[in-house]
């Protein structure tokens, strides 16, 4: 399935995409079953994910019937999960990105976090904070957790995965990196919070593709363009730590919950390696094979 979150009449709803057409699942349920309302999981992606198979069976029934009156001609996109409990991101999970950053890959994943307030949906503006001149891009595969898990083994990790999305780890480099970095070492390290989690900087979406439709998450091509010019190109076959390993490591001492997002790192081609940064008016497109293209325009705060 290809499902997404959107706003309709000021309220969150869940939709489904098939053959380039999109359906409002809440309205689809009402039309199919002749009711005045619909289950609340059709207005809350995290709740739908939490309910698992029973909810997905209902979604499948609505998709099969496809009431045309519930089709969407326009979509006011939200991040696929608007309120994740956790957003975990690994640093330097592609060797080539580590080379351009002058940083060797870690012996085990090194995670930083983002806040839900940093997330935006497809076609929503990336807000360039007024305190930065070095706003950067990073296309990544995003993993959506499907059920609670802790201390999960890599060979069991996919049982905890709901699906996949596109994740653009937009970064504020002049706040992330200490002054003089990397020549001058800072005893406190990088400033991950300011560098990675400023308000409305991180596009996610446009949809979640359930894991049954992604044949092999370890072999997905991806690219990122700025104003139509390709800046990044890579493939998840080059990950240092696989999806399964990342989920396993992320669950060490931390309970992963339905709707949590784990990104997987970015391939080479980021802006700071070229001294090239985003400015207001730039259009950023991030694409992952089998999922789609996440498009956002940069807007000055």
Residues 161 and 266 occupy one common structural domain: yes
Range of the domain at 274: 87-300
200: CATH? 3.90.850.10
Tell me: do 108 and 64 sit in the same domain: no
pLDDT score for 70: 97
**Co-location of 158 and 199 in the same domain:** yes
Least confidently predicted of 18-22, 92-96, 259-263: 92-96
Q: What are phi and psi of 20, to 5 degrees?
A: 70, 10
Question: Do residue 143 and residue 37 come from a single domain?
Answer: no
Same domain membership, residue 197 and residue 66: no
User: Does residue 152 have a pLDDT over 80?
Assistant: yes
Please compute the mean of the pLDDT values over residues 198-212 and round it to a whole number: 98
Considering the domain architecture, whether residues 68 and 123 belong to the same structural domain is answered as no
- Give the Å distances, CA to CA, from 45 to 30, 37, 83: 18, 17, 9
Counting the structural domains of the chain, the total is 2
27 and 60 inside one domain: yes
pLDDT, tens digit (0-9, with 9 covering 90-100), for 84-141? 999 999 999 988 776 776 777 788 999 999 999 999 999 999 999 999 999 999 999 9
Q: Are 118 and 178 found together in one domain? A: yes
Same domain for 113 and 240? yes
Q: 226 and 92: one domain?
A: yes
Q: In this predicted structure, what is the pLDDT of residue 181?
A: 62
pLDDT in tens, 56-81: 999 999 999 999 999 999 999 999 99
Specify the pTM.
0.95
Boundary-marking domain end, from 48, 77, 106? 77
In a domain, 288, yes or no: yes
Q: Specify the 3-state DSSP secondary structure of 189.
A: coil
Tell which of 77, 101, 131 closes a domain: 77
The last residue of a domain, from among 29, 51, 77: 77
Task: Kindly give, in sequence order, each residue whose CB lies less than 8 Å from that of residue 171, ignoring residues fewer than 6 positions away.
Answer: 135, 136, 137, 138, 195, 196, 270
pLDDT digits (tens, 9 = 90+) for 228-255: 999 999 999 999 999 999 999 999 999 9
Instruction: Between 52 and 102, name the one with better pLDDT.
Output: 52
Q: Are 225 and 287 part of one and the same domain?
A: yes
Q: Has residue 70 been placed in a domain?
A: yes
Confidence of residue 190 (pLDDT cuts 50, 70, 90): confident
Q: How far is CA 197 from the centre of its chain?
A: 14
Q: Distance between CA atoms of 134 and 191, rounded to whole angstroms?
A: 14
Indicate whether 68 and 139 sit together in one domain: no
Backbone Cα Rg of the chain: 19
In a domain, residue 82? The reply is no
Residue 219 lies in a domain: yes
């Amino acid at each position: 399935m290809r499902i997404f979150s959107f706003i309709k009449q000021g309220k969150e709803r869940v939709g489904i995409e098939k053959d380039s057409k999109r359906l409002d699942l809440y309205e689809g349920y009402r039309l199919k079953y002749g009711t005045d309302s619909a289950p609340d999981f059709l207005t809350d992606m995290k709740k739908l994910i939490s309910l698992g198979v029973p909810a997905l069976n209902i979604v499948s029934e609505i998709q099969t019937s496809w009431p045309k009156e519930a089709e969407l001609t326009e979509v006011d996109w939200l991040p696929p999960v608007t309120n994740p409990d956790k957003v975990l991101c690994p640093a330097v999970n592609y060797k080539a990105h580590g080379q351009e950053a002058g940083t060797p890959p870690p012996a085990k994943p090194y995670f930083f976090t983002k806040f839900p307030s940093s997330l935006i949906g497809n076609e929503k503006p990336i807000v360039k904070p007024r305190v930065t001149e070095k706003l950067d891009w990073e296309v990544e595969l995003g993993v959506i957790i499907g059920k609670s898990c802790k201390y999960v083994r890599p060979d069991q990790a996919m049982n905890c995965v709901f699906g996949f999305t596109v994740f653009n780890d937009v970064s504020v480099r002049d706040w992330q990196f200490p002054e003089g970095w990397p020549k001058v070492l800072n005893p406190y390290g990088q400033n991950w919070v300011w560098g990675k989690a400023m308000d409305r900087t991180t596009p996610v979406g446009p949809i979640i593709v359930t894991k049954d439709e992604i044949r092999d998450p370890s072999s997905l091509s991806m690219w990122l363009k700025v104003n139509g010019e390709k800046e990044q190109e890579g493939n998840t076959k080059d990950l240092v730590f696989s999806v399964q390993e990342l989920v396993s490591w992320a669950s060490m001492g931390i309970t992963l919950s339905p709707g949590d997002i784990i990104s997987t790192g970015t391939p080479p081609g980021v802006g700071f390696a070229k001294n090239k940064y985003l400015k207001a008016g730039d259009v950023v497109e991030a694409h992952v094979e089998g999922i789609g293209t996440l498009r956002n325009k940069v807007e000055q705060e």
